[in-house]
Structure 1
Amino acid sequence: MIKKILSYLIPVKIFETKSSISHSIEVTWANGELVLDSKNANYSYGSLQRILRLGLKSIGFEKIVKMERILILGVAGGSVIKTLVDEVKFKGKLTGVEIDPEIIHIANTYFKLNEVENLEIVIDDAFEFVLKTKEKYDLIIIDIFQDTTMPYFLFETFFTNRLCYLLKSKGFILFNTMILNDDQNSRNKKYITDFVHPQFKIRTIPRIEIHNELIVIEKLA
């Protein structure tokens, strides 16, 4: 409790480790809440939770609560899962795909992710999972970072087409991206310009928390 109170003045680190995939991982009290960070970026809770909450609100909590299946690519500490369960009151099936088992161990230990009853965690590479899955989803959330770096495959046409194929009628993709320089800004612009699908609509929610841009893809029928 003392660390939580003190965190309103300065961040208080309570756990730090390294993994072969995520490298530096820290759990910190900040402004009265536990957050999960990499060396240079917020991984879960804190600003990231605010970003994805805004994306979910732009889709509409009232739409999401009626959905049956949601896929989360990149779980980390599970903040978007907690938003879906605690705020949206989503009762359907949640599938979270995370490549780093150490991250899931931390999420269970510090953020009680294993207490979410309607959640299935799959330890796998997101690209491989998307190729293999036979399920269709109402909402796909992409939130994959290695510190401040995003894997290039996320922006490839093949991967995007596969995600669109996995969407149910009137489904959504919510894609969290980070823009730190002109090259990444051009990358996002090209992604949006190159997206030409008559059955889909694409839009952005720009510059959330300074460096984040959300891309929303909606299947129209």
Structure 2
Amino acid sequence: MLKRLLSYFYPIKIHTQKSTLSQSLEITWANGNLVMDSENTNYSYGSLQRILKLGLKNIGFAKIKKMESILVLGVAGGSVIKTLVDEIQFKGNITGVEIDAEIIKMANQYFKLDEMKQLQIVIDDAFEFVLKTKEKYNLIIIDVFQDTKMPNFLFESFFINRVCFLLKSKGFILFNTMLLNNAENLRNQKLIDEFKSENFSIKTIPRVEKHNELIVIEKLT
């Protein structure tokens, strides 16, 4: 309790762990809340939770609450899952795909992710998972990072088309991206310009928390 109170004045690091995939991971008390950070960015809770919550609000909490199944690619500490369950009161099934098993161990220990009965965690690469799964989802959240870097496959037409194929009728994709330089700005614009489909609409929510851009894809039929 003392550390939590002191965190309103300055961050208090309580756990640091090396991970082969994510390098350095930290659990910190900040402004009265536990957050998970990589070396250079917030991985869960903190700014990331605010970013994804804004995207979920854009889709509509009431609409999400009525959905049956949600896929989260990139779980980390599970802050977006907490938003879905605690704030939106989503009662359906959530599948979380995370490549780094060490992150899930930390999420279970510090954020009680394993106590969410409607959540199934799959330790797998996001690209491999979307190729293999036969399930379809009402909402797919893409939040895949290695520190501040995003794997190139996320922006390839094949991957985006496959994720769109996994959507149920009138489903949504919420894609969180980070823009730190002009090349990344052009990368996002290229994806948006090349995305053409009569069955889908695409829009962006730019400059969220300064460096993030949310891409929202809606299946119209």
Deviations 1:45-85 (A, max 9, x none): 00000000000000000000000010000000000000000
- Name the residue aligned to 2:3: 3
User: Does 1:88 pair with 2:88?
Assistant: yes
SS for the counterpart of 2:164 is: helix
Could you report, residue by residue, the CA deviation over 1:166-218 in whole angstroms, capped at 9, with x for unpaired residues?
00000000000000000001101111001001100000011000000000000
Q: Normalized against structure 1, the TM-score is what? A: 1.00
Quick one: distance in 2 between partners of 1:54 and 1:64?
13
User: What is the TM-score normalised by the length of structure 2?
Assistant: 1.00
1:155 aligns with 2:155: yes
Residues 101-142 of structure 1: CA deviation (Å, up to 9, x unaligned): 000000000000001110000000000000000000000000
Take 1:37 and 1:123, find their aligned partners in 2: how far apart are those partners?
20
State how far apart, in whole Å, the 1-side matches of 2:141 and 2:108 are. 20
The residue identity in structure 2 corresponding to 1:33 is N
Identity of aligned residues (%): 71
Aligned-pair CA distance for 1:23 = 0.5
Counterpart position of 2:212: 212
In structure 2, how many angstroms separate the alpha carbons of the residues matched to 1:208 and 1:161? Answer: 25
Cα separation, 2, equivalents of 1:80 and 1:2: 27
Q: Does 2:169 align with 1:169?
A: yes
Q: Give the Cα separation in 2 of the matches to 1:42 and 1:74.
A: 13
Cα deviation, residue 13, structure 1: 0.2
Give me the whole-angstrom Cα distance separating, in 1, the residues matched to 2:155 and 2:50: 23
Mind listing any 5+ residue stretches in structure 1 that lack a counterpart?
none
Aligned counterparts of 1:127 and 1:193: Cα–Cα separation in 2: 22
Aligned length: 221
Runs of 4+ in 1 over 2 A off after TM superposition: none
Q: The residue matched to 1:51 in structure 2 has which SS?
A: helix
CA distance in structure 1 between the partners assigned to 2:186 and 2:9 by the alignment: 38
